[in-house]
Amino acid sequence: MKDFSNQITNRAESRDVEITDIKSCVVEGNFEWNLIKIETDAGVTGIGESYRGGGVPELVEYTKRFLIGENPLDVQRLYRRIIQEMSGHGGTTGKVITAASGIEIALWDAAGKILDVPVYQLLGGKLRDEVRIYCDCHAGEAYAVDDGYTEYAEADAYSPQAYADEARRVVDMGFTALKFDLDVEMDNDPDPYNGRLSNAAIEHKRQIVEAVREEIGYEIDLAFDCHWDYSVESAKRLAYELEEYNLMWLEDAVPPENMEAQKEVTKATRTPVATGENRFRVFELSDLIYDHGVDIVTPDPTTVGGLGETMRIADRAEENYIPISPHNVCSPVGTMACVHLGAAIPNFDVLEYHALEVDWWDDLIQREEPLIQDGYIEVPETPGIGVELDEDVVEEHTLEGTSGF
Ligand SMILES: O=C(O)[C@H](O)[C@@H](O)[C@H](O)[C@H](O)CO
């Protein structure tokens, strides 16, 4: 059995740092945000975020047995150590990689603070001073949270007009790129399991896209997400139907497991096709990238294995002239980690923001101004990922029944 413990002996004293504790906290936003803290004996705490959902706190707790005492500056080695230590019990993919992603981000933050540089600098420097954001939007009354929102009767909540009105509202906030969900309840008719779209369902979707385009024009980038719902033939029929609307992309039209099915859809249409958020590590995306089975790749850095793993994916995508637009449904912590990534990779396109309905999203960090200004986030010059949590707000929104940091 190999010994994966720290074999590094040669290091300048000023960088001889140790991890003293690792903590996690689930914050209840529009998703359950898994925040992570890594404490060190250098008086520095790194913060990170793993993708939403259950299991992360337990896995983070587990890693303490081999990460405490390690040097947080060895980000790449420690990420691999998590996989090596846990691969025997399913750690090469799935939730272990999700947990490792948040730890990896917290390590970059700690490393940046210890070395007194922003994370993008550690990733190789920056190609841009600000990162463009696309806003994930929702039609429908469930999301009526802000001024200027029209309330709809339930039957009209997913009408083309409701989509167009919401698109207008979000464009007026300064965003230059939007995404809506295109999977609507009527897709279940007549059968929710076979993935088949009726002609009426496709026509309804076409009308939604048309209404949004008529409202916001063609200068705004516009994407639609289908959440892995359709059969190959229905995905293709839908993608053909939308070709005339010049979308930024059509996302996740078929289920995520079958690469060949995905490739068939991508290659069948001139509507750009995006996917990637529910794959783990570079291994689960390489085939799709090298076979040009995706037009825009959308890994989630807080799921896929952190910033290093996303950079490896971005490298392969760049080699194939494919842009990368990270999926992101995080709090400001995970979002800011993605901003450093977006600054450091050449083929970055746009970063998702998915918290329009969380009016305290910005309050979670210590900051005067909203993070997003006119649809962009400025790449911070402060050490680490460049944001610090407001502990009171974290505590206020800690998931009920969990202990918090
Ligand atoms: O692209 C996206 O923004 C995602 O698909 C989200 O819309 C999902 O709903 C969420 O991550 C739940 O799984």
Residues 238, 97, single domain; the answer is no
Domain of 18: which CATH number?
3.30.390.10
End-to-end CA distance of the chain: 35
pLDDT value for 142: 44
> What percent of the chain shows pLDDT beyond 70?
96
Q: Which two tokens stand for residue 139?
A: 């039609």
User: How far is the C-alpha of 72 from the C-alpha of 40, rounded, in Å?
Assistant: 8
Residues 247, 318, single domain; the answer is yes
136 lines ligand 1 (CB under 6 A): yes
Residues 20, 112, single domain; the answer is yes
Q: Which of 76, 98, 116 is the last residue of a domain?
A: 116
pLDDT value for 145: 45
> What is the pTM for the complete model shown?
0.96
pLDDT at 154 over 70: no
Higher per-residue confidence, 12 vs 7: 12
pLDDT at 371 over 80: yes
Residues 140, 159, single domain; the answer is yes
Q: Which residue of 138, 143, 227 sits with most ligand 1 atoms within 8 Å of its CB, as the best mutation to test the pocket?
A: 227
Q: Is residue 2 part of a domain?
A: no
Residues 182, 261, single domain; the answer is yes
pLDDT value for 7: 86
pLDDT at 245 over 80: yes
Q: Is residue 338 part of a domain?
A: yes
Higher per-residue confidence, 233 vs 155: 233
83, burial (CB in 10 Å: exposed 0-12, middle 13-18, buried 19+):
middle
95 lines ligand 1 (CB under 6 A): no
Higher per-residue confidence, 153 vs 5: 5
Residues 321, 194, single domain; the answer is yes
Q: Which two tokens stand for residue 364?
A: 């979670």
> What percent of the chain shows pLDDT beyond 90?
88
pLDDT value for 153: 59
Residues 154, 294, single domain; the answer is yes
Residues 111, 128, single domain; the answer is no
- ipTM score here? 0.95
pLDDT value for 155: 60
pLDDT tens by residue, 111-143: 999 999 999 999 999 999 999 999 999 886 444
pLDDT value for 249: 98
Q: Sorting pLDDT into bands at 50, 70 and 90, what band is 186?
A: confident
pLDDT value for 9: 87
Average pLDDT, the chain: 94
Residues 209, 322, single domain; the answer is yes
Residues 108, 128, single domain; the answer is no
Instruction: Please give the residue range of the domain that contains residue 72.
Output: 13-116
Q: Whose CA is nearest to atom 8 of ligand 1?
A: 227
Mean pLDDT of 259-272: 98
**Number of domains composing the chain:** 2
Residues 90, 171, single domain; the answer is no
User: How far is the C-alpha of 46 from the C-alpha of 339, rounded, in Å?
Assistant: 16
Measured in Å, residue 204 CA sits from the centre of ligand 1 at: 21
Q: Is residue 4 part of a domain?
A: no
Residue 172 to residues 191, 222, 352: CA-CA distances in angstroms?
Answer: 38, 15, 18
pLDDT value for 104: 98
Measured in Å, residue 225 CA sits from the centre of ligand 1 at: 8
